[in-house]
Amino acid sequence: MSNRSEAFLSIDCGAKVVFDGPENIAVYASSPWAERGFCRQCGTHLFYRLTGHGQHFIPAGVFDDIPGVTFEHQIFIDRKPPYYEFANGTQNLTEADVQALHADEG
C-alpha cells in the first residue's frame, strides 16, 4: 500500500453546515482532530470536518457553481504523487505542518 495521498479538492464551508437527511450520513474518525462523512446509501464522500470547531471542508465536485472560490493551499504536499502539479502558486503544508497545526486539538 502506498503512503501517498490522492488529490482532494474541497471548499471551506465553515462550521454552520446543515445536511438534509442526516440519518443517511456515516461518520468516521480519521485522526485525533478530524472526521469524514459519507453517504450510508452510496458511499459518496460528503465532508472532512475538524472536530474541535466543526469546520467543514466539502468536495468541490458537490457544488454546481462556486463563484469567488480561490485555490489557496495544499496540505500533505509531501505525500503528493509525482504525476500532477497545479499551475497556480499556493501555500503548501507538509504532513508534519498539518499535525503541528492541529496538535492541541487531539
pTM (predicted TM-score): 0.77
**By C-alpha distance, which of 45, 44, 99 is closest to 36?**
45
Is residue 78 within 8 A of residue 59, CB to CB? The reply is: no
Q: What is the pLDDT of residues 60-88, one digit of tens each?
A: 888 888 888 888 888 889 988 888 888 88
Q: What is the pLDDT of residues 3-61, one digit of tens each?
A: 666 778 898 999 999 999 999 999 999 988 899 999 999 999 999 999 988 999 999 88
Break the chain into its structural domains and give their ranges: 10-105
